[in-house]
Amino acid sequence: MLNNVKVNLKILLEILQKKEILLNEIYNITINQNTVITSEKVNMVMFEEMIKEKRIRIDDINDMDEKFQNIFDNIKKDIARYKENYIEAIRELKKLINENINLKMKIELQEEKNRKVLEKNNS
């Protein structure tokens, strides 16, 4: 049982690391979208392509979130019962989750900036 939980915790950490990479990619695309929509000649075709690229990554993240939740649901009782065995992994999970949350917030802020630029361009 202990080994199984450790393997699953390792998988959860890997999921969060991959998610962080995708979130960084989404953030970079969102920054690039801002460059496109604030340029002198706005290229909406390029902007739309960037939306598609983000959508692919968002779908991947949603799949990862589902996989993460399924694995976590299977091991959470054992983690709670024997948490002293998993302190370091739990600490790392929390750190990665917080980093992912911070990245999501940065993306949302940039999305809001982009939305305002688009609204201004369309008015």
Q: What is the pLDDT of residues 2-38, one digit of tens each?
A: 679 999 999 999 999 999 999 999 999 999 999 999 9
DSSP 40: S
Nearest to 60 by CA among 23, 29, 95: 23
Please report, for the chain, the start and end positions of each structural domain, with discontinuous segments joined by +. Answer: 17-122
Q: What is the pLDDT of residues 81-116, one digit of tens each?
A: 998 999 999 999 999 999 999 999 999 999 999 999
Report d(CA 82, CA 87) in Å as an integer. Answer: 9
User: What is the pTM for the complete model shown?
Assistant: 0.93
